[in-house]
Structure 1
Amino acid sequence: MRLRARHYTRAVAALAAGGLLLTGCSAADRASSQSKGGQSTGGSGTRNVAPDGGGRTAGQAEGESDGVERSAPPADYLSTFALDVDTASYGFARRTIGSGRLPDPKTVRPEEFVNSFRQDYRSPQGNGFSVTADGARTSADGWSLMRVGLTTAAPAPDSVRKPAALTFVVDISGSMAEPGRLDLVRTSMELMTDRLRDDDSIALVTFSDKAKTRIPMTRLGGQRTRVREVISALRPDSSTNVEAGVTRGYDEAVKGLRAEATNRVVVLSDGLANSGDTSADGILERVAKARKDNGITLYGVGVGSDYGDQLMETLADRGDGHTTYVSDPEQARKVFCDDLPAQIDLRARDAKAQVAFDPRTVEKFRLIGYENRRVADQDFRNDAVDGGEVGPGHSVTALYAVRTRPGAAGHVATATVRWLDPTTRAPHEESAAVEVAALTARTWTEADARFQVTAVAAYFASALRERGGGWEPVPGALPLDGLAERASGVADMTQDTDVRGLADTVRQAARLMG
C-alpha cells in the first residue's frame, strides 16, 4: 500500500544547534494529502530550498515563520549519508562464489548488494526524486526492516539526450591478460562504440607502467572504424600504474571538454595497482582541480577474478561517480550497451539523504551498510560537502533495522533527500514519512516481492560480512539455506533473472559455508 504525499501532523524534526532543519509541509499540504495505509511516498513535485542551509522553503524570508511548529530530537536520532548507486561489491562476490570461494568480508558492502536489483518505486514528475518509505516485521522481537527508496525519472530517449564526451582509461597491464579481463573490455568497448551517437565523443587512454593517449577526444561520426581498430589492437603489457592512467585520462578529458555535453572519465581495470601512487586519495589529489572545476564525473568498471575492490570503490566514491563489476559478456553488454549510454546524463549532483527517527516510537535503529558514505548530520544542507551523483532511471535503497517501543503507534521517521541540479546547482528536496503500522502489520516474508528481494540481499550480505568479525548481524536473519529458498520463491514471483541469480548465489554460498 502507498501513501502519496503523506505529511504527518506532527512537525518534522530540527537540529537547531547545527542549523539543520527538516522541513515539514504546510497545513494546506496536510489537508490535501491522502492516507493509504502505512507506506508513504514523497510529493509529486520538488521544492526549491534555501542554499544557505537554513531550511527555508522557496520564497520564505529569513526569520519568517512558515506556520509549522518544530521540535528537536536528539542528534543520535538522525541518520545522514551520501547516495550510492555502486553495485561492484555484489558483482564481485557473485563471481568469487561462482568460482568456489567466499569473498573477503572487507569487500562486502550491503548497500551494493541491495542496490543491484530493480525496484518498482514510483517515478517522480520532472527531473528530481521520488521518496518512498515502507517496512515489515522481522522474526526478532520488536525489530522491523524499514526501506527508504529514492528514484529518478527514466532516461530520456537516446535521440534527445545531451551528447557525451567519454574518456576511457583502459588498464593494459600484465594482470589484464587473464581471460575475462582485457578481452572482455575490448569486446565491450567495440559494442558500445556502435551504440553511441555520431555527435558523441570519445578519447582513449591506456596504461600499464606508463600512460599513453591512443585517441584524443574525437567525435564518433565518421571515425567508428578507426576507433574499433585501435580498441581491437589493445594487448596486455607490464605493471599497473593506475595513477598515471587516471591523471592522463583527466588531462585528456579537460583538453576535450565539451560545455554542451556530459563529460565523464570511464576507468576499466582490475584495480591491482602496483606502481606509481597506489592510493586512491593520492591519485584523486592529482586530478582534484579538473574534477571539481569542470564537473567531470568518474565511472569505474571492474574486471578480474582478483580485483582491487577498495581502490576502485574509493576512486568512484570520491571521484563523484560510481562503480560496477562485470565478469562475462552478458554483464558487459548490459553495462556498455544499455546502462552507460542511457545514464550518460546526470539527474542529481551531491545527493544526500537524511532520516529523522522519532524517539517517542523508536528505541533503536541501524542503517545497514553505507559505512563509507556517512555524512555528518550538520552537513546535510552544506552543499560544499560531497554527496553522490545519480543518473536517470536510478533507484537507491537504504535499509534500516528499527526496533520500535512496546505499544508504539504513529510516526516512526521522515526521510528527506537533498540534491543539486546538475546544470544550475540549485538545491532541491523531497521527503516522505513512515508510521509504525507500516513496520509491524506484516512480516518481511509476507511483503511485496521487491521488498523481499531487498531483505534477502541485505541478509545475504550480512552473513558474508559476519565471517570477518566486528559485524553485528541484521535482526531476524534466516539460515542461508532458508534464505536461498526464500530467494528462489521470490524469483518465481518476479520472473526476474537477476533475482534467480541471487538465489543461486545464496545457495552456492550456503554450501561453501557448510
Structure 2
Amino acid sequence: MDTPRSPEDLPPVSTGARRARFEIDPQRPVPHTSALSGVTVTDVDVNSEGAHMGEYRTTHRTRRPRGALAALMTAGCLLLAACGSGADESSADGSNSAHDTERFPAPAPVQPTGPAGTDEGSTPGEQKGEIRESTPPPADYLSTFALDVDTASYGYARRTLADGRRPDPATIRPEEFINSFRQNYERPDGDGFSVTVDGARTDAGGEGDDWRLVRVGLATRPSEDSGERPPAALTFVIDVSGSMAEPGRLDLAQKSLGVMTDELRDDDSVAIVAFSDEAETVLPMTRLGDNRDRVHDAIDTLEPTLSTNLGAGVDTGYATAVEGRREGATNRVVLLSDALANTGETDADAILDRIADARREHGITLFGVGVGSDYGDDLMEQLADKGDGHTTYVSNEEDARTVFVDQLPRNIDLTARDAKAQVAFDPQTVEQFRLIGYDNREVADEDFRNDSVDGGEIGPGHTVTALYAVRTKPGASGHLATATVRWLDPDTRTPHEESAQLESEALNQPLWSRDNARNGLQVTAIAAYFADALRSGDSRWSRLPGAPSLPELSDRADELADTTESEEVRQLAETIEQAGSGVGVGG
C-alpha cells in the first residue's frame, strides 16, 4: 500500500543537498537555454531517448556547434549576466542552496510554456552566479518522468508469492515496490513538494566501485485527519462478475466499503455502480449526512453473477459520476475489479479514451483497486494513468482497510497537479546513469515545463522516491546532479518548482553501513534489488550493479526490520524469503 507506517521512526535523513524554491512568472518568456552551459541556443537537440527497460544512459556524447552557431554561443557566453534568485534554504550539513555560484543549474526549458490551455510563456527560478562555459549539453544527461504513487505491483507480487507462484516479470514495476514504503523526508509547509537527494556507494566490487545509488525523495505536506479539505463525490464502480465470488474479492470489498462509509464526512457524496455482463447504477450520487443506512443497504445487495464487461462498467460509472458531479468537490471514480475484461468492449484503447475524455472535460480522476489471484495488472495501470489517478492492490482485510479507510479519504485532497521530476546529471562527474523503474512514466525532456503534458496528481501525506544507479567518473569530485520537481497549483494551476543538488562527496559512504540515518535509503535499495531479482531472466532488463543474492537481501531486510521495528519492512523480509525458497526466482 502507499500508506504504510514509515519504515523508520528515525531522525530526518541528512540529505547533503542544497534546496531552492522557485515561483514561476507565467507572463515572462524564457529562451531555450542549455542547462549545462547556460548558453542561449536555437537548434541543440536535447533528446529524451535513453534508458528504456534497463539500458544505461551515458553522459559524454555531445553535438558540437559549427560555424555561425558556435560563434553565437561563444558570444552568448560572454554576454550572459548573472540573475537574481529565490530564497536560500541551507541543509542540515551546512551545504548551500541550489542556486550557489559555479554550480550545475537546474534543468532549463526547451520552449516557454504557460499554464495548461494558454500560450503564455513561463520562466523557471533564475539562477544566481557564474555560468559555466562549455559545449552544448550531452544528449542523455537528463532524466524526466511523471510522478507516480502506484503500489499495485508490489501488492500483487506479495500475493502471488504467498500463493507459491513466481510473478510474471512484466508485472514487476520497481518504482511501485520502492514507493510502497513511506520515507521520513522533510515535509513542506504548504502545497507542493520538498526535495531530498542522497545516496551511497554500492558493494559491486572491481570496476563497480564507481557505482552509486542516488535517491531522489519528494514529499508533500502531512495529511491531517481533522484538517480542511474539499468535499468528495466518489463513484464506486464495482466488479460483480463470477470471478469476484472468490474469497477475498467482492466480500472483502463490501466489508471495506461499509467501514469507509462510516468514516467519510457528512458532506461527502457516494454513488455505486455494479457491472458484470451489463452495468447498472445501484445508488445515484447521494450525500451521506443522514443517508448512511441507504448506502449500507446498496452495498449489501451486491452479488457476483456473470462475465466481466469492464467497458460497460466504465461507461456507466463515468456517466453516473458526470451526472452527480459536484462543483468545488473532489470528483473521483473508484474502480474495484480484477480487471479481467472478457465480454462486451474489451479493447483497452476504447476504454482508455472514455476515461481520458472524462478527466479532460469534467476533471474526474480514477483510483484503481485491484483484487484477486488472477489480476489484469497491465490494464488497471493503464486505466489509472489515463484517469490521472493511481492504482493499488488489496489481498486481505488489513490491506483493504488501509486503502479504503486511510488512503482513499486522504487522497480526496490534492496538493499538486501534473507533477513531473527532472534530474540533470553533471557530465563532468557522471559516466552513466539508469532510472530504476518508471518505464511507463517517462516524459520527453523538452516537455518538462510544457504544462499541457500530463504529469501525476499527488495528495497530502505522500512521499515519492526515484532511485538511480549512477556510475561516476574516476576521481569524480564536486557537483553530481540537480533534481527539480515541477507542479501546478491544484486551484490556480500556477506552476511552481523546487530543486536540490547533490555533491559527489555525499555518496562515499557504503550503502550497508550501520547508520540509522541511512535506514530509509537501505529500505529503498532492498525494495529495488528485490524487484530487480523478480525481473531476472527477462532479457528486456539488465541487472542492477551491486545486487545481493536473495538470501543476502532477506538477511539485510530482517536486520533492518529489527532496527526500525517496522511491520512493513518485516513483511518485505518475509516476502523476499518466500521468493528465495522454491518459486524459481533468480538471485
Do they fold alike, i.e. is TM over 0.5? yes
The one-letter amino acid paired with 1:108 is I
1:342-353 equivalence runs, <5 A: 342-353=410-421
Which residue is 2:93 aligned to?
36
- 1:50, 1:33 → 2: CA distance? 30
1:313 aligns with 2:381: yes
1:272 is aligned to 2:340: yes
Distance 2:87 2:45 in 1: 25
Taking the TM superposition and a 5 Å limit, the aligned residue runs for 1:102-121 are 102-121=166-185
| Counterpart secondary structure, 1:145 | strand
Q: Which has the higher helix share?
A: 1
Instruction: Give how far 1:160 is off.
Output: 2.1
1:221 to 273, 278, 289: 289
Matched, 1:484 2:554: yes
Instruction: Call closer, same or farther: CA 1:57–1:125 in 2, change over 3 Å.
Output: same
Quick one: distance in 2 between partners of 1:278 and 1:223? 36
Asked whether the equivalents of residues 38 and 438 of structure 1 are also in contact (C-alpha less than 8 Å), the reply is no
Equivalent residues of 1:148, 1:398 under 8 A apart? yes
Change (3 A) 1:234 1:40: farther
Counterpart of 1:451 in structure 2 is: 521
> Does 1:2 pair with 2:72?
no
The answer as to 2:257 corresponding to 1:185 is no
Q: What value does the CA root-mean-square deviation take over the aligned residues?
A: 2.6
**Residues 190 and 411 of structure 1: CA distance in aligned 2, closer, same or farther (over 3 Å):** same
* CA distance in structure 1 between the aligned counterparts of 2:533 and 2:566, rounded to whole angstroms: 23
- Give the 3-state SS of the residue equivalent to 2:535 in structure 1: helix
> Once the two structures are superposed, what CA deviation does each residue of 1:326-363 show, in whole Å capped at 9, x if it has no partner?
00001101111111112211111111100000000000
Pairwise CA distance, 1:31: 7.5
2:422 partner SS: strand
Deviation at 1:118, TM superposition (A): 1.4
Tell me the residue number matched to 2:123. Answer: 56
1:507 to 1:395, Cα distance in 2 relative to 1, 3 A: same
Contact 2:436 2:467 in 1 (8 A): yes
Residues 128, 153 of structure 1: 8 Å contact kept: yes
| Cα distance in 1, alignment partners of residues 444 and 99 from structure 2 | 24
Alpha carbons of structure 1 residues 83 and 42: separation in structure 2 relative to 1, 3 Å: farther
Partners of 2:417 and 2:456 in 1: how far apart? 6
CA deviations on 1:182-210 (whole Å, 9 max, x unpaired) are 00111110010010011000111111111
State the 1:232 CA deviation: 1.2
C-alpha contact 2:88 2:97 (8 A) present in aligned 1: no
Q: Which residue of 1 aligns with 2:53?
A: none
Q: Residues 41, 338 of structure 1: CA spacing in aligned structure 2 closer, same or farther, 3 A cutoff?
A: farther
For structure 2, the residue ranges without an aligned partner over 5 or more in a row are 1-13, 21-33, 47-80, 101-111
Q: Please, which of 396, 405, 422 is the counterpart of residue 354 of structure 1?
A: 422
Query: Which of 381, 385, 403 matches 2:453?
Result: 385
Separation in structure 1 between the aligned mates of residue 312 and residue 212 of structure 2, nearest angstrom: 48
Contact 2:213 2:469 in 1 (8 A): yes
Higher Cα Rg: structure 1 or 2? 2
Show the 5 A alignment for 1:98-497: 98-140=162-204, 141=208, 142-158=210-226, 160-446=228-514, 448-497=518-567
Match of 1:505 in 2: 575
Deviation at 1:471, TM superposition (A): 1.2
After superposition, give the CA deviation of every residue in 1:143-186 in whole Å (9 maximum; x if it has no partner): 01000001100123345211100000000011101000000111
Q: Cα 1:404–1:30, aligned 2, differ >3 Å: closer, same or farther? A: farther
Question: Are the equivalent residues in 2 in contact too, given 1:419–1:427 (CA < 8 A)?
Answer: yes
Instruction: Give the alignment's TM-score, normalised by structure 2.
Output: 0.80
TM-score by length of 1: 0.91
- How many matched pairs? 499
User: Deviation of residue 69 (structure 1)?
Assistant: 2.7
Deviation of 1:4 after TM superposition, in Å, equals 6.0
Is 1:97 the equivalent of 2:164?
no
Secondary structure, in 3 states, of the residue corresponding to 2:581?
A: helix
Distance 1:213 1:197 in 2: 22
**Which whole-Å CA distance do the structure 1 matches of 2:283 and 2:200 have between them?**
53
Residue by residue over 1:441-474, the C-alpha shift from the partner in whole angstroms, topping out at 9 and shown as x without a partner, is 3334445111100000000000001133321011
